[in-house]
Amino acid sequence: MKLTYDPRYNVAYICLKEKTEQVETLQISDDLPIDIAPDGSVYGFELLNARQQLHADNGGKLTIINEEHGNTTEIALTP
């Protein structure tokens, strides 16, 4: 899994697996398109207006927590 974030455009993409074939993009809401493979599996999804969606009350940071190992990583989402 890979998360990319572009602060210039305020867009994040969460890639669940690499695209190996043509995808169909479903617009779930104004801020959430999802890429679907022909077999129905999800390749990834884009978060438009990412800062608003990812950091509501977290001081402008994205927190990633590995529940198994208890490791925490924080990434600042700068405007």
What is the per-residue pLDDT across 51-75, written as a single tens digit (0 to 9) for each? Answer: 777 665 566 677 788 889 989 988 7
Convert the pLDDT of each residue in 4-21 to its tens digit: 888 888 888 999 988 888
Other Cβ atoms closer than 10 A to 6:
10
- Confirm whether pTM is higher than 0.85: no
Report pLDDT digits (tens) over 27-46. 998 888 999 999 899 999 99
Strand order in the sheet with 24-29: 2-6, 11-15, 42-48, 32-36, 24-29
Higher pLDDT, 1 or 28: 28
